[in-house]
Amino acid sequence: MAPNRLAPAYLEDVRVLINTWHIPNETRVETDELPRLADDPRLWRSTFGDLAVPRRGRLTELIDLRATLRADLGRVPAGMNRWLRAVPVTAVVGEEGRLELAPSRDDTAGQILAKFALALHHGDWRRMRACDDCAWAFYDSSKGNTRRWCRMYGEGEGRACGSIAKVRAYRKRQEGSPGVPAPAR
Ligand SMILES: [Zn+2]
């Protein structure tokens, strides 16, 4: 997984969790890394910062939570209300009088929900987005908050999603009238 477009530190584990479902550039096949990660505490700890290893029997719930988070990228995340009702977080006065959020359940889902709620509070969630091309979840730190692709210009390894979209749009124009199906790439 390419570590591009990182979220603020407190939110990064949420972004990484969302991207445990991804479409690798090489295969273009939807891939779910979560079962493998949940099964291997060492791999889990090297993938996530301080996120608790999921307890046995919680994988299905976590996959469900991840689906809601992903569906709520780039929009008002109203779908998350269901989760906040099920696993509420409590406001706590933290160090130096800063807001901290304590989950009602001290496990993976609880920690994710506390981070999510904090992102709402900080206005960071509206910068979390899925790439229009490859669906990779990224944090848009651009000034205008208008980035649509995870890698516009192709940094390092892998594809440049924006460029591919541009090529596709160009081809579409070349192929002529709308309604005529484009040949498979
Ligand atoms: Zn992309």
What is the CA(12)–ligand 1 centre distance, in A? Answer: 17
CB contact at 8 A, 137 and 73: yes
Q: How do residues 80-125 score in pLDDT, each as one tens digit? A: 999 999 999 999 999 999 999 999 999 999 999 999 999 999 999 9
Q: How many domains does the chain have?
A: 1
Tell me what pLDDT residue 139 has. Answer: 94
Residue 177 is assigned to a structural domain of this protein: no
Domain housing 24: 9-130
Residue 114 is assigned to a structural domain of this protein: yes
Provide the whole-model pTM.
0.83
Residue 174 is assigned to a structural domain of this protein: no
What is the CA(138)–ligand 1 centre distance, in A? Answer: 9
Tell me what pLDDT residue 3 has. Answer: 41
What is the CA(98)–ligand 1 centre distance, in A? Answer: 35
Amino acid at 23: I
Does residue 167 have a pLDDT over 70? no
Residue 34 is assigned to a structural domain of this protein: yes
**3-state DSSP helix/strand/coil percent for the chain, to nearest 5?**
45, 10, 45
What is the CA(44)–ligand 1 centre distance, in A? Answer: 24
Residue 41 tokens read as 């505490």
Residue 172 is assigned to a structural domain of this protein: no
What is the CA(63)–ligand 1 centre distance, in A? Answer: 21
How large is the average pLDDT for residues 168-174? 72
Q: Label residue 54 exposed, middle or buried (CB < 10 Å: 0-12, 13-18, 19+).
A: buried
Q: How do residues 62-83 score in pLDDT, each as one tens digit? A: 999 999 999 999 999 999 999 9
What is the CA(91)–ligand 1 centre distance, in A? Answer: 35
Residue 106 is assigned to a structural domain of this protein: yes
Neighbours of ion ligand 1 (CB under 5 A): 131, 133-134, 136, 150, 161
Q: How do residues 15-33 score in pLDDT, each as one tens digit? A: 999 999 998 877 889 999 9
CB contact at 8 A, 129 and 137: yes
Residue 180 is assigned to a structural domain of this protein: no
Residue 109 is assigned to a structural domain of this protein: yes
Tell me what pLDDT residue 1 has. Answer: 39
